[in-house]
Amino acid sequence: MTPTFTLLIVDDEKQNRALLTELLQDEHRIILAKDGKQALERAREHLPDLILLDVLMPEMDGYTVIRALKNDDLTRNIPVIFITALDSPGDEERGLELGAVDYISKPFNPAIVRVRIRNHLQSVRQRRMLEQMAMLDSLTGIPNRRRFNEVFEQEWRRCMRDGAPLSLIVVDVDHFKAFNDTYGHAAGDEVLRRIAASLQTSLRRPGDFVARYGGEEFVMLLPGIDSEGARILCEHTRADVESERIAHAVSDVAPWITISLGGATRVPRDSTPNPELFSLADSCLYVAKNSGRNRVAWAPPAES
């Protein structure tokens, strides 16, 4: 069985770590920590799906650890189960108030531990599914604007760290309103689905990204690609859509569906994502549309 979830087990006693590992390792990937400091480091490094946390540890106890986890944006949503010899109602109440999702007393029943962990991980699975659905465009099945905003921030910061260029492209379907008025909204929806699929196919690297931005607009991110490479990819993308020959009798561009693209490339210099990159690409899209559509327009390089 391939492990689906990662569990972080935190306990200062080696015997307890070994016991829980033996109990859970057949179903899950196990990460171990022997104290609070190590727990925080490994939680940030591995972002486990669930943390099993002992309360009574020297130097930094479990209560201090969970406070630190909940105060960190990176780890605050990781569920924590306290496993401890403290079994008074007051101890349990304190742990739950600090954000623990469950409280298992030692000595524990292995079968009960497995069931409780399985139940909490089922909740994790369901939450992830809902989060994924919230990040997808319901019509085309590709990421939506909300997901684009997240990926843009991530890629901006990564390119800044690497000193690499980030290329952003805004895509618009030419005369789409006229298409809808002529062929109907059901046909228009099918066009958007086909274009979304075509845009996805044009992206050849794992880091490349496309999303539906809204209406008939799409947006593409190409981290690590300079303006020349990005423009070449965009020309191929434009040609691929045109080659599908989706009839568009009322377009003054071509007798089939075409797209216009505007793009810009910058090397991020600051950790805060700059919305100017999108604005530049969007301005170039208008240049492409005003120049006859079915073409690519690109922003000039930044001044040194």
Strand pairing class (166-173; 217-223): antiparallel
**Active-site residue 190, yes or no?**
no
Q: 204 is written with which tokens?
A: 């050849």
84 has which bridge partners? 105
Q: 282 is written with which tokens?
A: 């969007």
From 29, 24, 222, 226, select the one nearest 114 (Cα to Cα): 24
From 92, 155, 216, 242, the catalytic residue: 216
- 203 in helix, strand or coil? coil
C-alpha radius of gyration, the chain, whole number = 26
From 27, 31, 23, select the one nearest 1 (Cα to Cα): 27
DSSP 247: B
Secondary structure E strands in the chain:
6-10, 29-33, 50-53, 80-84, 102-105, 166-173, 209-214, 217-223, 259-266, 296-298
* Angle in degrees, CA 286, 278, 163, rounded to 5: 135
| Count of alpha carbons within 13 angstroms of residue 184, beta-carbon side | 3
Contact 224, 159 (CB under 8 A): yes
The widest CA-to-CA distance across the chain, in whole angstroms, is: 77
* CA 178 – CA 249 distance, rounded (Å): 10
Contact 23, 113 (CB under 8 A): yes
Helix intervals (H) in 108-226 = 110-134, 145-162, 176-183, 185-202
Q: 47 is written with which tokens?
A: 């972002």
Which residues are known catalytic residues? 216
